[in-house]
Chains A and B, each alone.
Chain A
């Protein structure tokens, strides 16, 4: 009950934030250099043709007027039409979002599976070889720029070793996408009982997911280690030991659950980073996600997709933070009371 109230309150608090995002994205896009009308009319267009396009795009109106139209369209669920693809932005985003989410979630899952045990191990054996290995791996993970890690992985595993398929999107040229259920190709292929297709999709996913995972691993492992060390030295762990509880119970039920509190907060931040980092990784691996879509639109001075993308990300952040708050409330009873 307290948890529901917490969720409701956080959701209400998100509304002003979203309104702010709408205003800022609108203004930011108007402030961008370049004239979309001229861009789409082409270099050979006459002045009159450009003006016609400008009128069709509504760009001949004053900025406040444009904003009113923008908000009115938003309320109707109309994010505008992309000039490059000729499709409604909402439809473009909807078809591309699963690709981005699949990649981000895979990267995050990978990072958590490696980083959590690594952090716990290096906290329970500080100064051991596991600790040093963790330090080296995580330092390398953050200090290399993400597109560089991606290119390096492609070079080693595709070009030199030939283990990975060509970095050309979610599936190779010979496969067709599975029937859409979740939008995640690997999951959908498994649901369709198509093992070969699932494998093909997984092979495509591996390198970009590892690239993101390497990047996300560092903060998670470091935070887990630091937090675990702090908790292991605390008084209630001493109590648990004095009561003769099994080492496993002390480590997992008592220490790890407490140590996870700051890690949960961090996971939310890492997830946001990854959504941003996606833009570059999608570009390197020709991944048809929302990031590469927005990047291409930005280069083409195509406002609507960029606005749609930023709005989508902001909404994702809001729901992400809400999820983190709820998970935090589930783990830490003290948060529930504050709500």
Chain B
């Protein structure tokens, strides 16, 4: 890992004001990503993976509020940057792809035009070159017959095809960081592999760092350098992928691994994680996994939540790690 990370998120806390009180969606979240690195953020629904991504991009809905923390990207704190600065960064330096690609594209604008819009905004290309560049991009994300697809509308393309368009749109200006939020959810399995391979290819050839957000450990297992495990708005463990799979230290990570199907495993070997993501309204316990944890003890109720570096690059937020 290089000395200066591409982006480092530190101490990030986010609250949502809802009709039923304040929800502390993120609490002191921290992780970093180096140039060209691929980091997986893993967790159940509601663990705060997507909120982290939206916060970094400045796309939190109006009800959300950053209460502490920094997200330093190339020397700029994205959380205190002006709207104008963020606009310059988004799409050019860091961009994002979403799940359900079909609805994430403008339904009444040809897909080629949508990519051209991004180029028009960020890339200093003459009008005539822009079209060629879009065709190049479509070819690069392996869309057959780019010339014809340029004029296609999202409803005329398959889900996988739309996700390829989405990727072309996101990498149009060769960003340094791409955040992929559940990029394969809702696609069929063969398409999933294709999309993930494409993302891996692009990041390798362009030296683009990638944050892969997913609830599926199997997806990130062989494709990520490092993995950040989130639970109920906390980062509970982060480690190099190999270490995490070989020797998880947080009870939640261990449970997550046990509930993920592997080759050669029997269905009976899969164990679900007991309980559900806790209610994050109002006051919460220091460790938010406490009520679901089989190792919970009195020490777990003592604030603050410890963050122990158990090995280089391996951090566990647990009072009684495995």
Q: A241 to B170, alpha carbons, bound, how many Å?
A: 11
Please determine whether A235 and B100 come into contact, CB atoms closer than 8 angstroms.
yes
Please determine whether B98 and A239 come into contact, CB atoms closer than 8 angstroms.
yes
Please determine whether A241 and B106 come into contact, CB atoms closer than 8 angstroms.
no
Binary A-proximity of B140-163 (CB < 8 A = 1, otherwise 0): 000000000000010110000000
Q: A240 to B155, alpha carbons, bound, how many Å?
A: 18
Q: Closest Cβ of chain A: how far from B30's Cβ, in Å?
A: 23
Q: A160 within 8 Å of B by Cβ?
A: no
Q: Closest Cβ of chain A: how far from B206's Cβ, in Å?
A: 17
Kindly identify which residue among A241, A254, A331, A337 contacts B59, using a CB–CB cutoff of 8 Å.
Answer: A241
Q: A333 to B156, alpha carbons, bound, how many Å?
A: 10
Please determine whether B121 and A258 come into contact, CB atoms closer than 8 angstroms.
no
Q: A241 to B90, alpha carbons, bound, how many Å?
A: 8
Contacts A333-B108, A334-B107: A238 and B98 contacting too (C-beta < 8 A)?
A: yes
Chain A residues 225 to 244 lying within 8 A of chain B, measured CB to CB, are 234-236, 238-244
Q: B95 within 8 Å of A by Cβ?
A: yes
Secondary structure at the A interface, as helix, strand, loop or mixed, is helix
Q: A239 to B108, alpha carbons, bound, how many Å?
A: 14
Q: A258 to B106, alpha carbons, bound, how many Å?
A: 8
Please determine whether A239 and B90 come into contact, CB atoms closer than 8 angstroms.
no
Chain B positions within 8 Å of A244 at CB level: 86-92, 95, 118, 121-122
Q: How large is the interface on B (under 10, 10 to 19, 20 to 34, 35 or more residues)?
A: 20 to 34
Which one of B57, B105, B106 has the highest number of Cβ atoms from chain A below 10 Å of its Cβ? B106
Binary B-proximity of A306-339 (CB < 8 A = 1, otherwise 0): 0000000000000000000000000111100100
Please determine whether A332 and B108 come into contact, CB atoms closer than 8 angstroms.
yes
Q: B45 within 8 Å of A by Cβ?
A: no
Kindly identify which residue among B91, B105, B122 contacts A242, using a CB–CB cutoff of 8 Å.
Answer: B91
Q: A238 to B104, alpha carbons, bound, how many Å?
A: 8
Chain B positions within 8 Å of A241 at CB level: 59, 90
Chain A positions within 8 Å of B96 at CB level: 242
Residue of B nearest to A240 (CB): B106
- Please report the number of residue pairs spanning A and B whose Cβ atoms sit closer than 8 angstroms: 80
Q: B235 within 8 Å of A by Cβ?
A: no
Kindly identify which residue among A235, A245, A332 contacts B118, using a CB–CB cutoff of 8 Å.
Answer: A245
Please determine whether A235 and B98 come into contact, CB atoms closer than 8 angstroms.
yes
Q: A246 within 8 Å of B by Cβ?
A: yes
Residue of A nearest to B100 (CB): A235
Residue of B nearest to A334 (CB): B155
Contacts A245-B118, A249-B121, A333-B153: A236 and B90 contacting too (C-beta < 8 A)?
A: no
Contacts A244-B122, A331-B108, A333-B108: A239 and B92 contacting too (C-beta < 8 A)?
A: no
Binary B-proximity of A6-31 (CB < 8 A = 1, otherwise 0): 00000000000000000000000000
Please determine whether B90 and A243 come into contact, CB atoms closer than 8 angstroms.
yes
Q: A61 within 8 Å of B by Cβ?
A: no
Please determine whether A236 and B106 come into contact, CB atoms closer than 8 angstroms.
yes
Residue of A nearest to B96 (CB): A242
Q: B7 within 8 Å of A by Cβ?
A: no
Residue of A nearest to B53 (CB): A242
Binary B-proximity of A240-264 (CB < 8 A = 1, otherwise 0): 1111111101000110011001000
Q: A74 to B59, alpha carbons, bound, how many Å?
A: 63
Chain B residues 90 to 148 lying within 8 A of chain A, measured CB to CB, are 90-92, 95-96, 98, 100, 103-109, 117-118, 121-122
Q: A236 to B166, alpha carbons, bound, how many Å?
A: 10
Q: A120 to B155, alpha carbons, bound, how many Å?
A: 27
Q: B169 within 8 Å of A by Cβ?
A: yes
Kindly identify which residue among B98, B108, B117, B155 contacts A249, using a CB–CB cutoff of 8 Å.
Answer: B117
Contacts A244-B89, A244-B90: A239 and B59 contacting too (C-beta < 8 A)?
A: no
Residue of A nearest to B91 (CB): A244
Residue of A nearest to B93 (CB): A244
Q: Closest Cβ of chain A: how far from B148's Cβ, in Å?
A: 15
Chain A residues 157 to 203 lying within 8 A of chain B, measured CB to CB, are none
Please determine whether B57 and A242 come into contact, CB atoms closer than 8 angstroms.
yes
Residue of A nearest to B113 (CB): A253
Q: Closest Cβ of chain A: how far from B316's Cβ, in Å?
A: 32
Chain A positions within 8 Å of B106 at CB level: 236, 239-240, 254, 258
Chain B positions within 8 Å of A239 at CB level: 98, 104-106, 166, 169
Chain B positions within 8 Å of A257 at CB level: 108-109
Kindly identify which residue among B59, B86, B169 contacts A238, using a CB–CB cutoff of 8 Å.
Answer: B59
Chain B positions within 8 Å of A333 at CB level: 108, 153, 155
Chain A positions within 8 Å of B170 at CB level: 242-243
Q: A247 to B59, alpha carbons, bound, how many Å?
A: 13
Q: A243 to B155, alpha carbons, bound, how many Å?
A: 21
Binary A-proximity of B162-198 (CB < 8 A = 1, otherwise 0): 0000100110000000000000000000000000000
Would you mind naming 16 contact pairs between A and B with Cβ atoms under 8 Å apart? A234-B103, A235-B98, A235-B103, A236-B104, A236-B107, A241-B59, A242-B57, A242-B170, A243-B90, A243-B117, A244-B118, A244-B122, A245-B91, A245-B118, A331-B108, A332-B108
